[in-house]
Amino acid sequence: MRLNVKTIYALCRRFDHCSQHRFNLRYLSTVELSEQQKNKLESGTVKRQALKKLLDGPQLKDFITKPQYELASEDVPYLDNTNFGHHRKVYFDVHGCQMNVNDTEIVWSILKSHNYLKTDDLEDADIVLVMTCAIREGAETKIWNKLENLKGLRNKKIEKNIKPRMKIGILGCMAERLKEKILEKERTVDIIAGPDSYKDLPRLLAVTENDQIAINVLLSLDETYADIMPVRLNENAVTAFVSIMRGCDNMCTYCIVPFTRGRERSRPVSSIIDELQYLSDQGVKEITLLGQNLKDLRWLNLPVYKTKLGGLRFADLLEKVADVNPEIRIRFTSPHPKDFPDEVLQLIQEKPNICQSLHLPAQSGNSNVLERMRRGYTREAYLELVEHVRQILPNVAISSDFICGFCGETEEEFQDTLSLIEAVKYNTAYLFPYSMREKTTAHRRYQDDVPQYIKQRRLDRMIHLYRGIVKSLNRQKIGQLQLVLVEGYSKRSKLHLAGRNDANIKVIFPIGEIPVQDDSSSCRSIEPGDYIVVQINDSTSQCVGTVSGSG
């Protein structure tokens, strides 16, 4: 019987170790089968038996004449997959959301273990990896401009005869959205890698060594990078992000994320807790749990796609996370305002190290717009939720995202957004003009009919209203004592430190000394990672501080 490529591909998908590389038949020849899998194959169909023959056949090493111990990795790079990097220096240019920051830490961990180095000097880089975002057209325009600059830098290096040629990789959501279309516009790119293919980066980079272009944009149902311990880009930082899920199934009509990050899946609990323990041992003092839609999933000890049964609910997971180290502050983003779980609110009330700040992304204040956006709640339900949250957590800080100028948004509908911002009085808000994305439901179903200048004007009106509210909320903090986690020097002055309070508001204060624990007679300088209590004596719309005009 002939086994065509399509059949091998289908059979290959049945084995776990191939699920990440199912596109690449080369891996078949190096697969080691477990006894269980061998038995499964033996009792299987003719096709399976044919595959077994293929797998039992000669392996790559059988075609190599030198004994393995005499081979250098340059001869056969597949044999020593830890040395792909040859100490080449990688520069990371990170755009987009916190998830991209965390993904870059995963990529850095993978490349570090393959003998690459990291550089913070672009001029010095052998490889530049741009972690991209596709959420709005503006985010992609920034990347195209960046590529122009990188092209200039590479040409300069070629003129100076610097070898090997600097490689440029496009990673993340824009890579996933545009795939090989990126090359139609920009031929300078060597690597295109989507959010689920980072484990393949060492191989992709090896392919580019012969000046070939390497692309892997396959999305996965089970990749959560559970077996990779991310290496933080700034190892001295006292704050860190931990992804607890990937993908999104919500399909809000305006949003590209489900298309760039694939289906929703939760990361195994043990891998989350191990990472938290590791960060705790490293002295990290604040951890933000990340996911596009935190509350619908279940967490087990394996990646889970879509089950609503068994395992831990988000509140159970949050409790476990908070218990890892009560000295570590826990934040999480984003829960969805639809069916917000009460248990999470109770838990925040009970656990002092879970911050009293909630991100409740409203997107619009008008129920018709919310329906067109397919958000699953009305203005009234959202306001009820806010009231309920404030009943249980009277001091909670609430943040949100808003989009203005969505398809068909009238002036009246927009005014409902302004009145919602006014009614809720958000401590933080991220405000965006609508940007239509291909593939989304809105692109198929609606007209992007609000003119650009009106979107801009509505955005300005939202910003103006929001800033006024925050200024007054921050002013109310004057005179209060706030517990602040010190993060480092203030951006503007080495005479001031910056940190954040429980509500995630930036607090600026002068450098100073605090008593040494267990010895009140001696003092030491305040350092990043210290929790200190400060009295607020001034404020702006961005931050509160103990010194006027700093920040």
Query: Which of ligand SF4, ligand SAH, ligand F3S, none has residue 403 at its interface (CB below 5 to 8 Å by kind)?
Result: ligand SAH
Per-residue DSSP letters for 217-246? ----SS---TT-----SSTT-SEEEEE-EE
Judged by beta carbon, residue 361 or residue 528, the one nearer ligand F3S is 361
Instruction: Identify what 192 binds: ligand SAH, ligand SF4, ligand F3S, none; CB under 5 to 8 Å per kind.
Output: none
DSSP, collapsed to helix, strand or coil, labels residue 507 as strand
Q: How many helices (H) and strands (E) does the chain have?
A: 17, 22
Is there a cis peptide before residue 334, judged by omega within 30 degrees of 0? yes
Q: Does 334 bind ligand SAH (CB under 6 A)?
A: yes
Among 434, 499, 538, 543, binds ligand SAH (CB under 6 A): 434
CB atoms within 10 A of CB 446: 16
Chain-centre distance for alpha carbon 305? 18
Pick 96 or 337: Cβ nearer ligand F3S: 96
Residues 239-258 within binding reach of ligand SF4 (CB under 6 A)? 248, 250-252, 255, 257-258
Nearest-10 Cα torsion for 520, 525, 526, 527: -120
Smallest gap from Cβ 363 to ligand SAH, in A, equals 6
Pairing state of beta strands 428-433 and 397-404? Answer: parallel
Question: Which residues inside 341-400 make contact with ligand SAH, applying CB under 6 A?
Answer: 361, 363
Give the three-state DSSP class for 38.
Answer: helix
Question: Shortest approach of ligand SAH to residue 295 CB, angstroms?
Answer: 11
Task: Give the x/- contact pattern for ligand F3S in 234-273, rule: CB under 6 A.
Answer: ----------------------xx--xx------------
Out of ligand F3S, ligand SAH, ligand SF4, none, what residue 258 binds, judged by CB under 5 to 8 A for its kind, is ligand SF4
Residue 126, number of CB atoms within 10 A of its CB: 22
Our finding on whether 255 is near ligand SAH (CB under 6 A) is yes
From 62-70, 122-130, 250-258, 516-524, span contacting ligand SAH (CB under 6 A): 250-258
Query: Which lies closer to ligand SAH via its Cβ, residue 319 or residue 401?
Result: 401
Q: Which does 266 bind (CB under 5 to 8 A by kind): ligand SF4, ligand F3S, ligand SAH, none?
A: none
- Kindly compute the dihedral angle of the four CA atoms of residues 305, 104, 261, 374, in this order, to the nearest 10 degrees: 100
> Could you tell me whether strands 167-172 and 245-246 are parallel, antiparallel, or unpaired per DSSP bridges?
unpaired
In the shown chain, the binding pattern of residues 290 to 329 toward ligand SF4, with x for contact by CB under 6 A and - for none, equals: --xx------------------------------------
Contact (Cβ atoms closer than 8 angstroms) between residue 411 and residue 366: no
Nearer to ligand SAH, 361 or 528 (CB): 361
**Residue 403 in contact with ligand SAH, rule: CB under 6 A:** yes
Which residue in 55, 106, 111, 134 binds ligand F3S (CB under 6 A)?
134
Buried b (16+ CB within 10 A) or exposed e, 401-415: bbbbbbbebeeebbe
Closest to ligand SF4 by CB, 441 vs 537, is 441
How far is CA 127 from each of CA 73, 230, 362, rounded to the nearest angstrom? 20, 20, 40
Q: Which of 333, 225, 341, 334 is nearest to 272 (CA)?
A: 225
Which positions lie near ligand SAH, rule CB under 6 A? 135-136, 254-255, 257, 292-293, 334, 361, 363, 401, 403, 432, 434-435, 437
